[in-house]
Amino acid sequence: MKFILLAIIGLTVAARTVCAGCPICGGGNSTLVDQVEQVKDLSVSWLAAQQNIDGSWPSLNTQNAILGLQLADPSWFTGHVPEERLLTTSTLEYELMQYLLSWRTSGDPIGQLGISAGRLGQYMLAMQSVCISVDDFYENRLQVVMNRLLRRKDTFTNFFAYSFSILSLCSGNFTIYKRSLLKLVHGTDRRHPCSTQFDVDPGHNIDILSLEVMAMVCARDQAIQQGIRRWDRVLSARVQCIIDGQSDDGSFGNAITTSLAVQALTAAEASQSTWNCVDAVEFLLTQQTNGDFGGVASTSQIIPFLNCNNFGSLREISETCSQLPPPMPSRPVPTVIEPGDDTVTFDIEVRANGDVESYQVTILNGENLYFGMIRLADLNNDFTFESSGSAFGESIDAINGVSDDSVNSLYWTIHIGQEGTFAPKGIEGLFPSDDEVYIFILTDFS
């Protein structure tokens, strides 16, 4: 078999996070670039719209959706307001924490973690894409957990998932043990590199080979440093095997397989003269309807190619984490009010610097004033507030952009019914009744 010679220089940074019109297939076809950009916008919008009200995505695909969105459009996460970013990251953390808490409280060995190495790798990649530390995840060093999983002596036959595990470590610049890297090299049969040891379906083989190629490109520096001499030769062989699997219509199988192949060949910088990139991309563009490539799971895996990215492209994306403003402190999320619920409607009035603003808000009977303020802020963009925890509960720091001023002794006070009737408690200890009026006044205590 004749193997292609890869452009090894620059292999370790295969990411191309282009904001407007990535140079798909080299960028020489402007019509194709425009078509890809249009489908990318549709796909990002469609996949983002599938997010549930609790911040998750259907069918346990939260980690896949977040990773796919960030690889297709690195500005997706940063384009959200702090509260929306917090909901997304909190949901991702909560899902993973359920696995970790169950394992830590049971005292089971690492082999009974309750989550596979591949699935943990997907969560780690998604976390890195939205700037969540995997090195200190609630006192868990996830890269250590991952390395322990990968070093187990039992047979690991799912090299698709195994490649995700390797990607999660190299994308975070974490050390990968030599034995784990050697296992990745041996994932493909040494004598027959176009087949895998544990699967005989040709389409599935390309899926596996594509993930192996992305992982090998990402981890190449560590492999060379650790003296794995066969790395580049095996990598080249796998790339050629993928190229050999391209059909006359440009596809490599179904849409997922074709996208993974395009991502792998792009990551490996395979020469455009050795495969038909344009036909592959045009095939993929026909496989979607209004941005939907066949559901959340498949769309999540397919869309990274729309931004010339692949599952090993997180290094450049995560460089923006230091520029991201910290999320706002978490607030409770009120229960959705349904028809027929027992509710209370009251008024909030804000007085500061000669201005008076009035609002009406409805809450569930039994909720406190704090929940009323949260509900009002969620429904009315003209009302905002900031609060902080104290020994006496939540304390108001600012309303509608007007903050306490300790230098001039100006502080927010709460009055019930009329000015001068100071509330006996804070916002968490006040429970409104129908038609009551709560007045917030920036009061001078000098």
Asked if pLDDT for residue 5 goes beyond 70, the answer is no
Name the pLDDT band for 58 (thresholds 50, 70, 90). very high
pLDDT of residue 419: 76
Structural domain count of the chain: 2
1 is a domain residue: no
337 is a domain residue: no
Question: Distances from the Cα of 33 to the Cαs of 30, 39, 63, in angstroms?
Answer: 5, 10, 28
Give the residue with greater pLDDT, 348 vs 149. Answer: 348
Name the pLDDT band for 388 (thresholds 50, 70, 90). confident
Given a contact cutoff of 8 angstroms between Cβ atoms, the answer to whether 125 and 311 are in contact is yes
Name the pLDDT band for 158 (thresholds 50, 70, 90). confident
Do 309 and 425 fall into the same domain? no
Asked if pLDDT for residue 278 goes beyond 70, the answer is yes
Do 140 and 286 fall into the same domain? yes
393 is a domain residue: yes
Measure the N-to-C terminal CA separation of the chain; round to a whole number of Å.
87
| CATH code, domain carrying 364 | 2.170.130.30
Q: Which helix (H) or strand (E) holds 377?
A: helix 369-379
The full length of the chain comes to 446
Do 80 and 151 fall into the same domain? yes
7 is a domain residue: no
Asked if pLDDT for residue 198 goes beyond 60, the answer is no
Do 430 and 383 fall into the same domain? yes
pLDDT of residue 82: 73
Do 153 and 105 fall into the same domain? yes
Do 244 and 384 fall into the same domain? no
* Beta partners for residue 441, in sequence order: 351, 413
pLDDT of residue 19: 37
* Residue ranges of the binding site: 207, 254, 301
Report the alpha-carbon distance of residue 419 to residue 223 in Å, rounded.
72
pLDDT tens digits for 205-257?
Answer: 899 999 999 999 999 999 999 999 899 999 999 999 999 999 999 999 999 99
pTM (two decimals): 0.69
Asked if pLDDT for residue 202 goes beyond 90, the answer is no
10 is a domain residue: no
Do 247 and 114 fall into the same domain? yes
274 is a domain residue: yes
* Residue ranges of the binding site for cyanocob(III)alamin: 207, 254, 301
328 is a domain residue: no
Do 310 and 352 fall into the same domain? no
Do 165 and 31 fall into the same domain? yes
pLDDT of residue 328: 53
Name the pLDDT band for 187 (thresholds 50, 70, 90). confident
| CATH code, domain carrying 79 | 1.50.10.20
pLDDT tens digits for 306-335?
Answer: 999 999 998 777 656 666 655 555 678 888
Range of the domain at 358: 343-444
Mean pLDDT score of the chain: 86
pLDDT of residue 21: 55
Asked if pLDDT for residue 195 goes beyond 90, the answer is no
Name the pLDDT band for 136 (thresholds 50, 70, 90). confident
4 is a domain residue: no
Report the alpha-carbon distance of residue 368 to residue 277 in Å, rounded.
60
